[in-house]
């Protein structure tokens, strides 16, 4: 089996060496072939190594991805659920060594379903709190949305424009010797 080992730290002051040591030992003990993908100094929005790895996993270049802990793969439960669900649906395994989770096994699938339920519950709570905050703000007289700006001026009526353009076309035609009623130019 060929696996991708993904390790990540958030700052340059931290090291991925501990994760690599544990994960390569794990892969060697299973007799797996592996490639290490190391992400250093990642932010919430930019993780190019992870994106590169996801592209390779989507092309089935690896049978599974192995991480040290779930929080090394994703920064939120929603991200974790979405990413792992995509991988599982594509037949790519997901293994978290420290959490002792293998989403290919029956127990791992159960854990995944429980994690999914908690992530959905968390999203629902956030939505409810947001709606309550908006309701409270409106009751306190707060005007929501972006401030009115220059682009919010009412649109000019086009009727004057259409008449003016029709008149110009009529005059041009009259200069050529063609005479039509003004209403024939308005369409």
Q: How many other C-beta atoms are found inside a 10 Å radius of the C-beta of residue 10?
A: 14
Q: Which of 29, 4, 19, 7 is nearest to 92 (CA)?
A: 4
Distance from the Cα of residue 148 to its chain's centroid: 29
Q: Could you give the CA distance from residue 71 to residue 135 in angstroms, rounded to a whole number?
A: 34
Q: Could you give the CA distance from residue 156 to residue 164 in angstroms, rounded to a whole number?
A: 14
Q: Which residues are catalytic?
A: 10
CA contacts within 13 A on the Cβ side of 90: 21
């Amino acid at each position: 089996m060929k696996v991708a080992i993904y390790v990540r730290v958030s700052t340059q002051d931290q090291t991925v060496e501990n994760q690599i040591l544990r994960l390569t030992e794990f892969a060697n003990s299973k007799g797996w072939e592996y490639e290490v993908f190391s992400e250093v100094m990642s932010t919430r929005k930019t993780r190019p190594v992870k994106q590169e790895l996801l592209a390779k996993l989507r092309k089935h270049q690896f049978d599974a991805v192995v991480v040290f802990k779930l929080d090394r793969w994703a920064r939120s439960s929603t991200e974790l659920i979405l990413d792992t669900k995509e991988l599982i649906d594509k037949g790519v395994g997901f293994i978290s060594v420290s959490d002792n989770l293998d989403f290919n096994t029956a127990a791992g699938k159960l854990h995944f379903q429980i994690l999914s339920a908690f992530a959905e519950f968390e999203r629902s709570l956030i939505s409810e709190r947001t709606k309550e905050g908006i309701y409270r703000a409106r009751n306190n007289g707060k005007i929501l949305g972006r401030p009115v700006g220059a682009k919010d001026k009412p649109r000019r009526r086009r009727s004057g424009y259409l008449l003016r353009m029709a008149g110009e076309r009529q005059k041009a035609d009259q200069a050529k010797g063609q005479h039509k009623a003004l209403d024939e130019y308005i369409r």
